[in-house]
Chains A and B, each alone.
Chain A
């Protein structure tokens, strides 16, 4: 249990939690991908437009990576000279990672579902792709807000 009062461990745990947003992206892209293959069976020419929609839920994973990287960078983990953090400081980093870690997973899964139905939509009406993308971008808004909060917290932590 001593580990959980070590500041550096808590900070690294934070980076890992942030990177978990990738779980959501993987699930979301999976949903969209299986829908896309179904559409392609009918019309292989739609590869390009379905790929665009499939890629959309991938951003949450990137946001998670982004926060993880910023945390690791800030505590000096990447450059080798890791700062000595107090338990409180480490806890701050962990707390900072929670918004993107949690919201990222949920929003990516649901964005994946929206993208999958968007792919169904463009299989029937290819000219409606812009609207399908906007519906998907509506879900992503909340991942963007979470990313922002995570980022601002990290930015405010003094070490």
Chain B
């Protein structure tokens, strides 16, 4: 099995999977805490237009996807924080616009929508070294900010009003989180694909939560689970010859299916323990 490490494309694939497996659940924990679990999906749709813009202009799709996804994320966050009433309809329009725009621009570039398949579901073995450099730099930035600013991000996602009275510029952090999510999604685009990236942001967090009791352990456990799912998925997809994105997501879901009943047992044991705890 170790022979797969001899192929340069597999080395790149594994490195990209490690970065995705760590960054997606890190940002995902904040999104779930803020009850924005589906934000990743929305940004993923918008990023597709960015990819198509790259195909149309001849610029690397990864670069245009990062830029368009970040702009889309900022628009979504502003719509969310200012226009609460019509927010979800506005969001929906942005999502559909992202997909339709992506396919339309791809057609205009002279390609069929099939070209987008590798971006929608991941195509990890086609990651080039220049892609990998960008993915590595962006992934590192995401991780440094997600961990370094965790006191602020935790406070904003836990209780926005209290954070504001603590002097935290809540709107700035909201936008920062949305942009970090956009960058994470484009980092993960080649690994799990734009349609499935949200799964890697949410499922490891949901899995970790079955057992964990604090934010800190949820955050770390989600990253470990994400990393394990991404690595297992890459290797499995190579061995059984399937697409990487769906394979990684199914591994992550399998972990959840195992953790859910386990968590229920642990919780009932803890409750039982507390009832008999004479304090």
Task: State whether these chains interact.
Answer: no
**Interface on B for A, CB 8 Å cutoff?**
none
**Interface on A for B, CB 8 Å cutoff?**
none
